[in-house]
């Protein structure tokens, strides 16, 4: 089967092009409207989250439990995947396995073609953003329409989500009003109820006529073969209920063992993501419409997507990435994300989790520079409901980008190495491990201190250059000892 050009082109769009990261960041920092949109959204989300969390000790207990559940389920992943497949199949769900993004897209296209389907409505699915499904289907003459209000806005704007939970937070209502005026052809209105009403009306028609509904999955329960979806709008329910065929795209790491694993994870997810004790809908799908049932899809498919996850799984440290429940709290609390916004990262997954996931999915060569957009302040780690040590993983990937001898499986390891930087570190290591040389160097540095460079590139743009002291600490201490204790 041929791979249409659109797929490749599309991937380039979503994957960070490292050389552009700096300029994207600069651009974002100078866009005052964008910055105020993000500031407002981040303040809102962090305050709402804080308002529904119990005290720190209790929350720590909750997330230790969340971590332990995700950890246990990942430990048993191969077994649970097979158990899930068996249970779902018994329920009448058709289970497909996809090794790569392209394979997943082909499977979905195949299902659509077998039904002569031309119109797809989509509930929110970050995995489908990851595989570039929309562009792929469009290249095959299939309309793939986003129906989550935020995703719909982003699609109207021919743009991409800037946040994994709130896709359109980079826009304020004036900008959305303008977009609706231009793209939908309605009168300009900043009334949010009216804008949502317009979206509702258009999308309801689409739901009614769609051939296929696609959704993501928040949890897949191995014991029962259940697909769980968490949402507020009802577009997820529409997409999985109204069209005759429902396809769920599910990362292989989403599997949990039993129904009892759900409550502790759900309370962490909704609180961390949107500051809600629970969302409007928790949708548990167990199978297609039975012959005696009047509604529901006649076919339910689930596509289990690997796309690099099994490689991440094999690494003792990086496997912790897979605990993620995609709540977005790490980006909401990140001082970098909240200032530059999601698009500057140039990746499907922005923010701290994006900095960890992207290099692992698309390689350090393409996405490794993302790990530099971090001050290692640890706010993401403190917010994460499943205790993923994000700063450690970011540091690990930074290191791996410079390490030619890394034994890990991460693609593109060593690709970020810069010769000058490497030589400088070598030199420093050599100096520091030889006491004689080191002291000689220090003395020379003190003697010729006035010759130390004043301009050190980006470092001195906002700081004064450090100047060596006339006498080193070592020398001072030695003098002090000689004077007082001889």
Partner 1 sequence: MNSTHDLSQPNPERNSQAKQAILHRLQRYQPVKPTKQAHSEKDGGDMTPAAKSPADQEGFLAKLQAAHTEVISTTGANWQEALAQDLSDKQIDPLLYAPGHSNNRSLTGLAEKGLELVKFDIPIEEIKDRMFNQIQAGLSHAVAGISDTGTLVLATGPDEPRTLSLVPEVNYMTVRASRLFPDLQTAMQTTHFAQLPTNMLLISGPSKTADIQQTLAYGAHGPKRLVVLFIQDN
Contact window for ligand SF4 (CB under 6 A) among 14-22, 139-147, 231-239, 377-385: 377-385
Among 12, 20, 33, 58, binds partner 1 (CB under 8 A): 58
State the pairing for strand pair 219-221/299-305: unpaired
Among 329, 340, 370, 397, binds ligand SF4 (CB under 6 A): 329
Among 117, 203, 327, 397, binds ligand SF4 (CB under 6 A): 327
330 lies in the site for ligand SF4, by CB under 6 A? yes
How many residues touch ligand SF4 under the rule CB under 6 A: the total is 15
Residue 181 binds which entry of ligand SF4, partner 1, none, CB below 5-8 Å type-dependent = none
Distance CA 364, CA 127 (A): 20
- Cβ distance to ligand SF4 smaller for residue 120 or 353: 353
Instruction: Tell me the Cα Rg of the chain.
Output: 26
Contact window for ligand SF4 (CB under 6 A) among 6-14, 80-88, 250-258, 381-389: 381-389
Among 144, 252, 369, 388, binds ligand SF4 (CB under 6 A): 388
370 lies in the site for ligand SF4, by CB under 6 A? no
Q: What is the dihedral of CA 195, 197, 201, 206, to 10 degrees?
A: 70
Cα angle: 411, vertex 215, 301; to 5 degrees? 90
- Residue 317 has φ and ψ, to the nearest 5°, of -95, -45
41 lies in the site for partner 1, by CB under 8 A? yes
Nearest partner of 283 among 212, 247, 234, 326, judged by Cα:
234
Among 117, 353, 361, 374, binds ligand SF4 (CB under 6 A): 353
Identify residues 95-124 at the interface with partner 1 (CB under 8 A): 95-99, 103, 106-107, 110-111, 113-115
**Burial class (CB within 10 angstroms; exposed 0-12, middle 13-18, buried 19+) of 471:** middle
Identify residues 259-288 at the interface with partner 1 (CB under 8 A): 259-260, 262-264, 266-267, 274, 277-288
Residue 375 binds which entry of partner 1, ligand SF4, none, CB below 5-8 Å type-dependent = none
Residues 6 or more apart whose Cβ sits within 8 Å of residue 41: 163, 166, 169
The DSSP line for 433-455 is T-HHHHHHHHHHHHHTGGGS-S-
- Cβ distance to partner 1 smaller for residue 313 or 441: 313
Distance CA 174, CA 169 (A): 12
CA atoms within 13 A on the CB side of 366: 18
**Burial class (CB within 10 angstroms; exposed 0-12, middle 13-18, buried 19+) of 357:** buried
- Cβ distance to partner 1 smaller for residue 184 or 481: 184
- Cβ distance to ligand SF4 smaller for residue 132 or 385: 385
- Cβ distance to ligand SF4 smaller for residue 66 or 287: 66
CB of 280 to partner 1, least distance (A): 5
Binding site for ligand SF4 (CB under 6 A): 272, 324-330, 353, 383-386, 388, 390
């Amino acid at each position: 089967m041929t791979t249409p050009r659109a797929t490749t082109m599309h991937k380039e769009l979503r994957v960070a092009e490292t050389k552009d990261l700096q300029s994207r960041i600069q651009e974002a920092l100078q866009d005052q409207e964008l910055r105020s949109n993000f500031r407002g959204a981040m303040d809102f989300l962090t305050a709402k989250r804080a308002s529904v969390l119990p005290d720190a000790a209790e929350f720590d207990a909750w997330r230790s439990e969340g971590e332990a559940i995700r950890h246990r389920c990942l430990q048993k992943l191969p077994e649970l995947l097979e158990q899930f497949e068996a249970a779902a199949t018994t329920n009448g769900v058709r289970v497909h396995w996809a090794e790569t993004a392209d394979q997943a897209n082909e499977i979905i296209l195949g299902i659509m073609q077998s039904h002569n389907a031309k119109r797809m409505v989509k509930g929110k699915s970050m995995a489908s953003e990851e595989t570039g499904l929309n562009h792929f289907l469009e290249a095959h003459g299939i309309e793939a329409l986003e129906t989550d209000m935020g995703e719909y806005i982003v699609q109207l704007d021919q743009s991409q989500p800037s946040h994994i939970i709130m896709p359109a937070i980079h826009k304020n209502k004036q900008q959305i009003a303008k977009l609706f005026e231009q793209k939908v052809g309605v009168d300009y209105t900043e009334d949010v109820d009216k804008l949502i009403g317009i979206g509702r009306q258009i999308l309801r028609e689409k739901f009614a006529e769609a051939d296929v509904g696609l959704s993501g999955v928040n949890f897949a329960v191995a014991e029962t073969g259940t697909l769980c979806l968490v949402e507020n709008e009802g577009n997820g329910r529409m997409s999985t209920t109204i069209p005759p065929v429902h396809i769920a795209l599910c990362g292989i790491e989403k599997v949990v063992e039993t129904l009892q694993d759900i409550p502790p994870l759900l309370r962490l997810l909704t609180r961390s993501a949107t500051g809600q004790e629970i969302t409007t809908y928790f949708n548990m799908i167990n199978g297609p419409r039975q012959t005696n049932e009047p509604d529901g899809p006649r076919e339910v498919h689930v596509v289990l997507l690997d796309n690099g996850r099994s490689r991440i799984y094999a690494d003792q440290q990086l496997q912790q990435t897979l605990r993620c429940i995609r709540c977005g709290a790490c980006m909401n609390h990140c001082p970098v994300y909240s200032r530059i916004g999601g698009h500057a990262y140039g990746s499907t997954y922005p923010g701290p989790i994006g900095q960890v996931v992207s290099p692992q999915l698309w390689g350090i060569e393409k996405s490794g520079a993302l790990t530099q957009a971090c001050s290692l302040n640890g706010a993401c780690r403190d917010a994460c409901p499943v205790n993923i040590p994000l700063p450690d993983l970011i540091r690990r990937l930074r290191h791996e980008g410079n390490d030619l001898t890394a034994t890990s499986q991460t693609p593109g390891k060593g690709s970020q190495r810069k010769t000058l930087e490497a030589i400088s570190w070598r030199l420093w290591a050599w100096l520091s491990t030889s006491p004689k040389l080191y002291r000689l160097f220090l003395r020379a540095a003190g003697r010729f201190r006035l010759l130390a460079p004043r301009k050190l590139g980006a470092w001195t743009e906002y700081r004064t250059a450090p100047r060596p002291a006339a006498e080193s600490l070592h020398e001072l201490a030695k003098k002090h000892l000689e004077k007082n204790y001889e």
